[in-house]
Chains A and B, each alone.
Chain A
Amino acid sequence: MATTEQRTTYAAPGHPDSPVTLRERYENFIGGEWVAPTTGRYRANVTPGTGETFCEISSSGPDDIELALDAAHAAKDAWAQRSPAERAAVLDAIADAIDANREMLAVAESYENGKPVRETLNADIPLAADHFRYFAAAVRAEEGRISEIDDQTYAYHFHEPLGVVGQIIPFNFPILMAAWKIAPALAAGNCTVVKPASPTPWSILKLCEVIGDVVPAGVLNVVNGPGAEIGKALATNKRIAKIAFTGETVTGRLIMSYAAQSLIPSTTELGGKSPNIFFADVMAEDDAFLDKAIEGLILYAFNKGEVCTCPSRALIHEDIYEPFMERCLERIRAIRQGDPLDLATMIGPQVSTAQMEKIESYVKIGRDEGAELLIGGERPEVDDDLAGGFYFEPTVFKGTNDMRIFQEEIFGPVLAVTTFKDDADALAIANDTMYGLGAGVWTRDGARAFRMGRAIKAGRVWTNCYHQYPAGAAFGGYKASGVGRENHRMMLDHYSQTKCLLVSYDPNPMGFF
């Protein structure tokens, strides 16, 4: 991985040259303060770039969830009574703090998760800030509705906060996925108890460090620890009014069953196996659009494939398969893999050994079921100082959609490619999956793009683009990909009660008794 080109690499957090300060251990963030876990236990937190431990994080128990809920319930009435303009001002102040600390948060998240710092600097962190601004604006623009039932009777509809909510965050975008959940909850007037993912408990605490002064105490609480213990303690707690979860399907079923037992709402986002469809006309010209489409295929390696909407199935028209894949493979060979804190790095390590081993097992499954390995498939050679890291090469298999590597979300940089004959064939393959979170359609024919986009059973169909997540574009799943939407003002409804005041101005009795 040595190169003669000039590169810029950020120093590791805690180093005097790093923008990120580092403490030896981190407690929970409860009621605006750092609170040691009642268990007295801490767990080593590892950077996937080298496999080294860089700090200790609280390993909390159910009692710590109770402490966080105490703080949230103590804060909820005052927070709910703040005007939308006041709540929006807090969200804007969070966004300003994120912007002011963009580099620090980007390096922290990259170091903890393994995603390249060029992604966190340019996507994760700016999008997180924008998300808070979007919901600050949305809640200012929120209005109730009035129905005139008749000229003496009126239904006034008000949005009211749910109260205290529980939110469980995945490891793949530790700060952005937290922002997606926290911003609408707070905007709608709720307080929250957040449980970060076990592999990435720290970067969100760095966020708490910089927004602790602008968020009223108890409105936002973060508790770290094992999912089996505190995730469950949060999700089953009678003192939450809603639970939100992003993760895998069995825990999704558990979350929904816990919600059913408490009679509270839940929202779940459970992943996908997203088709990315390339029609023959993408190669009609050798131009910027073709270049964009090639990049669109290779976005399967974005965030080392640890994305719920990873475009992990590429469907390519049979007439262009050979020349198009040749161009794509050439670009894949040029991917620079290595230290996530190096600005030139395009793909970093997987988040954990467990994820890396899972990817290896799926490469074996792909080979066993007869898929053709076009590139990758191994752990790469890396510099000696990265030898303990969890790296896996960007990998491409060619096969058919009935293979297991086409049907299961591998959550790594593994692409399964197949061909199609015509629009109907493409649509049938695209929809032949349990999941329905994302999809991509690439064509120069606008009418075809529209028809395909409407027919694909997925919550988000990127059309001539992929992996863009602007606030204001609703995101969520069809089928087994979960229930609910994020990233849109409709989230305010997911975090609100509807109060109807039905008012009669008629002085006369109804006449029944």
Chain B
Amino acid sequence: MADRVRATEEALEVIERLRAAHGPLVFHQSGGCCDGTAPMCLRADELPGGPNDACLGHVGGAPFFIDADQDRRWGAPTFVIDVAAGASESFSLEAFEDVHFVTHTPSEGL
């Protein structure tokens, strides 16, 4: 299956710096309250993809997971991972750079 996720150049640069600082990475698309719609970037061993996650592909070499039920309910969209100013509230690693990843859903696909 073709990847359903990619990252912008700006996001790839942040991902590369995070990998240099923290080692192998993983992304999980979050849901729910507060920062709920943000993608979370974690150390790969922190939260591996689970039995109920779908892997949508890789960004900057890191696997990108979403809860499979959430993916279905969102209509199995394609995602573009970008980066925006300001740290998120979550445990996502890019907070160290005072930026946060965001998930865009381009209307024209990837």
The chain A residues found within 8 Å of chain B, CB to CB, are: 170-172, 197-199, 226-229, 231-232, 246-254, 257, 269-272, 308, 352-354, 357-358, 361-362, 364-365, 368-369, 402-404, 407-411, 433-435, 480-481
Which one of A229, A404, A410 contacts B77 once the chains associate, using CB atoms below 8 Å?
Answer: A404
The chain B residues found within 8 Å of chain A, CB to CB, are: 28-38, 40, 42, 46-47, 50, 67, 69-70, 73-75, 77, 84-93, 95-96, 100, 102, 104-105, 107
Contacts of B30 in A (CB 8 A): 248-251
Ranked 8 nearest A-B pairs via Cβ: A271-B33, A271-B32, A250-B30, A248-B36, A407-B73, A228-B95, A249-B32, A270-B32
Contact A247 B87 (CB under 8 A): no
Contacts of A250 in B (CB 8 A): 28-31, 40, 47, 90
Contact B47 A409 (CB under 8 A): no
Sample of 20 further A-B pairs with CB below 8 A, known A270-B33, A354-B35, A411-B34:
A171-B34, A226-B96, A228-B95, A246-B33, A247-B34, A247-B90, A250-B31, A251-B35, A253-B50, A254-B47, A271-B34, A308-B32, A352-B86, A358-B37, A361-B102, A368-B107, A404-B105, A407-B73, A409-B36, A411-B36
Contact status of A362 and B32, CB under 8 A, knowing A228-B93, A353-B85, A407-B73: no
Supply 24 A–B pairs (Cβ within 8 Å), ascending by A: A197-B34, A226-B96, A227-B88, A228-B92, A231-B91, A247-B34, A248-B30, A249-B67, A250-B30, A250-B90, A251-B40, A251-B90, A270-B33, A271-B32, A308-B32, A354-B35, A354-B102, A357-B84, A368-B107, A402-B75, A404-B73, A404-B75, A409-B31, A411-B33
Contact A410 B37 (CB under 8 A): yes
Contact B36 A249 (CB under 8 A): yes
Contact B34 A254 (CB under 8 A): no
Contacts of A352 in B (CB 8 A): 86
Contact B95 A481 (CB under 8 A): no
Contact status of A435 and B46, CB under 8 A, knowing A226-B95, A229-B96, A368-B107: no
Taking the nearest CB of chain A, how far is it from the CB of B54, in angstroms?
Answer: 14
Which one of B28, B34, B88, B100 contacts A172 once the chains associate, using CB atoms below 8 Å?
Answer: B34
Contact status of A408 and B37, CB under 8 A, knowing A171-B89, A198-B89, A249-B32: yes
